[in-house]
């Protein structure tokens, strides 16, 4: 069976890498990897870490690219790739523009589509945007739906999608365990991470969502400013996303604070290491909501809604939005109340046990 994997961002690469490696073990499968290059520099780091070399690189990334330009460029170039390869199956992951454009291209060619991490829903088309819309559209086109949890499968059932729905766990946990194993076997050069003062409690901060551009990001910065002044034993480490809408606000507000360390986006192994050293995580990232609990790290989600409600229900994560006072109150509680911290840190991660890739592979074999 020939599988073409279409990916374009770092989260996609992280979550698809263990499945690419798993399927490649069997002679029954031929695996073709197509990188759209939607976020090229951040994507290539992950593929190199997992020793995956793309067969195609569409190189669509341009400065200040729009959703229109990304989508049309990917579709136009994928036509040739799918014609040349004639795969049995196109694999896409999650909710990115690359995933949506890949699924639509496969649909136009009459090729079966496998959707990894299917069924997540925030039930708000504008948050996250455009990801919520992308997920719902992919679901209508996919032939196979690989859901991380029972809740995500129920979400599909509510949309009358019942065939070829499999609950397998999330491949991000597979990647996390695989990544930690790779790090344990190789001396990890931490570069900028050597400069982080580990005598302090580390608060890892990540933020990049479009819906938070402007005032919401200002609110997040204001909360970090107040928290850094209030808790001298905390060190806020913020790998700042490359998007200029994020960088302008973050650097303007936080660059001169002694208890805040702004660094460039981290390579995946560095992020794993830093997450493992952290006391808690402030994030709007989807993947980190799933990864950090596997390491026993409480997650405060800086979004109004999340499509990963299982973590909220399990107690591994808490939704705090972008309200300054709500963020401060939640961090205060985790820092000052050991019982609150342990309750989140020891909650059972609902996103799987690291066997998702094997379960998906068994469906095809």
For residues 302 and 341, the answer to whether their CB atoms sit within 8 Å is no
Q: How many CB atoms lie within 10 A of CB 129?
A: 15
Rounded Cα–Cα distance for residues 6 and 102 (Å): 6
35 has which bridge partners? Answer: 7, 57
Rounded Cα–Cα distance for residues 83 and 239 (Å): 40
Q: How many CA atoms lie within 13 A of 119 on its CB side?
A: 28
Beta-carbon contacts of residue 94 (< 8 Å; ≥ 6 apart): 11, 12, 15, 116, 117, 131, 135, 286
90 has which bridge partners? Answer: 4, 113
Catalytic residues: 95, 117, 131, 208, 210, 241
Rounded Cα–Cα distance for residues 52 and 31 (Å): 11
Please confirm whether the linkage preceding 130 is cis (ω < 30° from 0). yes
């Amino acid at each position: 069976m020939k599988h073409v994997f279409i990916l374009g961002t770092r989260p996609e690469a992280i979550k698809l890498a263990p499945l690419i490696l798993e399927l490649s073990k069997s002679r029954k499968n031929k695996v073709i990897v197509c990188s759209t290059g939607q976020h090229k520099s951040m994507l290539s780091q992950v593929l190199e870490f997992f020793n995956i070399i793309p067969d195609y690189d569409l190189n669509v990334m341009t400065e200040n690219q729009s959703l229109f330009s990304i989508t049309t460029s990917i579709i136009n170039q994928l036509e040739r790739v799918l014609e040349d390869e004639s795969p049995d199956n196109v694999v896409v992951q999650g909710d990115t523009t690359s995933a949506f454009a890949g699924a639509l291209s496969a649909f136009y060619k009459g090729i079966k589509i496998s959707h990894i991490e299917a069924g997540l829903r925030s039930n708000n088309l504008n948050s996250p945007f455009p990801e919520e819309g992308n997920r719902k559209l992919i679901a209508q086109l996919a032939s196979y739906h690989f859901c991380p949890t029972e809740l995500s499968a129920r979400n599909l059932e509510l949309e009358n999608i019942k065939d070829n729905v499999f609950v397998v766990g999330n491949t991000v946990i597979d990647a996390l365990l695989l990544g930690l194993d790779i790090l344990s076997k190789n001396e990890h050069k931490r570069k900028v991470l050597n400069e982080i003062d580990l005598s302090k409690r580390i608060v890892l901060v990540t933020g990049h969502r479009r819906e938070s551009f402007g005032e919401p990001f200002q609110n997040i910065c204001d909360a970090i400013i107040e928290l850094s002044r209030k808790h001298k034993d905390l060190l806020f480490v913020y790998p700042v996303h490359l998007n200029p809408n994020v960088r302008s606000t973050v650097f303007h507000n936080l660059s001169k604070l002694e208890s805040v360390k702004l660094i460039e986006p981290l390579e995946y192994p560095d992020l794993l290491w830093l997450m493992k050293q952290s006391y808690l995580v402030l994030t709007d990232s989807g993947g980190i909501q799933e990864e950090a609990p596997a390491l026993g790290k409480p997650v405060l989600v800086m979004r109004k809604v999340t499509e990963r409600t299982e973590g909220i229900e399990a107690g591994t994560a808490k939704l705090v939005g972008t309200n300054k006072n709500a963020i401060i109150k939640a961090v205060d509680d985790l820092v000052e109340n050991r019982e609150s911290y342990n309750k989140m840190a020891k909650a059972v991660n609902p996103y799987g046990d690291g066997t998702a890739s094997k379960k998906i592979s068994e469906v095809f074999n």
